[in-house]
A = this chain, B = another copy of it.
Amino acid sequence: MEKVNLTNWVVSAKLPEPGLHDNTADSDRIINFFRKKYKIRLNINLQLLKIIPSKIRELSYHIKCVILKDNESYILTDIRDPNDQAFGVATDLGTTRVVFRLINLETHDELNEISFDNPQIQIGPDILERIHYANNNEGLSKINKLIIDGFNENLEILINPFDDIKMEDILFMTVAGNTAMTHLFLSIDPSNIIREPYIPVVNTPGLFSSEELSIDINKNGRIYVFPNIGSYFGGDLISGIIYSQMNKKDNPSILVDVGTNAEVVLGNKDWLIACAGAAGPALEGGVSKMGMMAGPGVIDSVKIDPSNLEFHIHTIEEKTPKGICGSGLIDLAAQLFLSGLVDIRGKFVIEKSPEKFKQNNGITALVLVPKSDSAIGEDLVITQIDLDSLIRSKAAMYTILVTISSSVALDLNDFENFFIAGTFGSFIRAESAISIGMIPDISIEKYKSLGNSSLGGATLVLKSPILFDEINEIRNSITYIELNVNQEFMNSFSGAKFLPHTNPDLFPSVKKKLGL
């Protein structure tokens, strides 16, 4: 078959009118149009067959078609009046937050974006608790209903500002989430994901009808669920690869999604490898008592004046400080280290500025914001324990990066791009992360923050029919490697637990800053 040339999911079609010399069936009239013009074989379901004869005559054979694709098959999803618009919703289905983005499927305008807490949080904040809860049919169907209801309520909120957009005008949703969230969204038993040998039920969920998932969009609408590679490498990452376009570049790139797990992808247009490793919760701001997600009043940047060790703190929306997020914590650690308030082992150097520290139950704590200036009625502090935890996390991250790169005989300098994905990644300052040795000391321009790349990839699929094939290619070609946590890995990890590293030559820019 010739090359498909469909470039938009919405297609206006002026069908030839029937006559005694053209008594093609109504549905074939549509199918033939798409075969001739776009080289695709369209499937039409029973619901649409029922409305086609009156619809195409009422519209005088001038129709707007919404097309989608399921594996090898193209599907006629709706027939609309030429003046009716069709909309899509891209979804980042996070364990913690869900983000919706509303798109005009035809013009590709991005109309609105909202986010909401994943309602499954009420079962448990982390994936493990939710999977245990879903261990039986009743639990599974309850936890599934939470997310489905959450979708339906928030889809209404998403379109609410637009008088002329109704739920039935949403024809297509894309959903990128990790493997467990994907299973729970589909109400598929996730229990083997966390049991040895860690088997998901499905890796390529594909396209579902809105009705079978009970999503209240157009009843002929479809929901595309991104494929995953395995239990620990989800559709959100595949979506991120698509968004980064690393799979189309000649030179190798590296993509890191920083969260509780560090998920890493290396490769270019010819090959892709991936791995995931526990990096620890510190990097998501979940570690210290005052650690939190980014939000108003949260400290997102810290500077320490080296001349007088004065702290310059910035909060989001410049509200009274109430906590610190991951990127703020990395800034803080980098500044503490560069100013000598923390040593290369990551320990507080109290004698350098004793008034900044206090002891709580034998644990040293740095007072970042005194009670009088904080929004929480007490000092905002970072303890030695918080710092130790951050250092374990950064060491894990660096070790994972070194290990996977060397597994394909590449040096960290060999990568053209170093993509940092995830909401957290969009706040991180590479310079600070380099200073503590969390990420390699390569040219700062190579670091590219992708923002919410899971949402980004999900949005691209709404805009381009060719991406389904690209996603399938990625899924089929990517090699997932298990991180081999052997003695070599542990040795490397030990070296990385120093600031920036036991071997400072690996971090020349930091060495320079320290005047070494």
B54 to A208, Cβ gap below 8 A? no
A189 within 8 A of B: yes
Question: Do A23 and B198 form a contact, CB below 8 Å, given A41-B71, A43-B71?
Answer: yes
A200 to B25, Cβ gap below 8 A? yes
B50 to A189, Cβ gap below 8 A? yes
Q: Which residues of B contact A72 (CB under 8 A)?
A: 41, 72-73
A212 within 8 A of B: yes
A188 to B28, Cβ gap below 8 A? no
A199 to B25, Cβ gap below 8 A? yes
A231 within 8 A of B: yes
Q: Which residues of B contact A43 (CB under 8 A)?
A: 70-71, 206
A192 within 8 A of B: yes
A49 to B188, Cβ gap below 8 A? yes
- Determine, out of A14-22, A337-345, A501-509, the stretch whose residues face the partner at the interface: A14-22
Which chain A residues (1-50) contact chain B, with CB distance < 8 Å?
Answer: 18-20, 22-28, 41, 43-44, 46-47, 49-50
Q: Which residue of chain B is the closest to A198 with respect to CB atoms?
A: B23
B41 to A202, Cβ gap below 8 A? no
Q: Which residues of B contact A19 (CB under 8 A)?
A: 197
Question: Do A25 and B197 form a contact, CB below 8 Å, given A49-B188, A50-B189?
Answer: no
Q: Which residue of chain B is the closest to A20 with respect to CB atoms?
A: B197
Copies in the assembly, this chain: 2
Total A residues in contact with B, Cβ cutoff 8 Å: 46
Min CB–CB distance A218 → chain B (angstroms): 17
B189 to A53, Cβ gap below 8 A? yes
Task: Please measure, in the bound complex, the distance between the C-alpha atom of A71 and the C-alpha atom of B71, giving whole angstroms.
Answer: 12
Task: Please measure, in the bound complex, the distance between the C-alpha atom of A287 and the C-alpha atom of B167, giving whole angstroms.
Answer: 57
Most B-side CB within 10 Å, residue of A23, A26, A27, A231: A23
A186 within 8 A of B: yes
Task: Please measure, in the bound complex, the distance between the C-alpha atom of A186 and the C-alpha atom of B41, giving whole angstroms.
Answer: 22
Q: Which residues of B contact A191 (CB under 8 A)?
A: 53
A52 within 8 A of B: yes
Min CB–CB distance A174 → chain B (angstroms): 17
Q: Which residues of B contact A25 (CB under 8 A)?
A: 199-203, 230
A50 to B188, Cβ gap below 8 A? yes
Q: Which residue of chain B is the closest to A57 with respect to CB atoms?
A: B192
Min CB–CB distance A136 → chain B (angstroms): 11
A204 to B18, Cβ gap below 8 A? no
Question: Do A46 and B199 form a contact, CB below 8 Å, given A25-B230, A41-B72?
Answer: no
Interface residues of chain A, those whose CB is within 8 Å of chain B, are 18-20, 22-28, 41, 43-44, 46-47, 49-50, 52-54, 70-73, 186-189, 191-192, 196-206, 208, 212-213, 230-231
What are 15 A-B pairs with beta-carbon distances under 8 A?
A23-B197, A25-B200, A25-B201, A26-B199, A26-B200, A27-B203, A43-B71, A46-B208, A46-B212, A47-B212, A49-B188, A49-B201, A50-B188, A50-B189, A54-B189
Q: Which 6 A-B residue pairings sit nearest by Cβ, starting from the closest?
A: A25-B203, A25-B200, A27-B202, A20-B197, A26-B201, A53-B189
Contacts A25-B203, A53-B199, A73-B73 known; 5 new A-B pairs at CB < 8 A: A24-B199, A26-B201, A46-B212, A53-B188, A72-B72
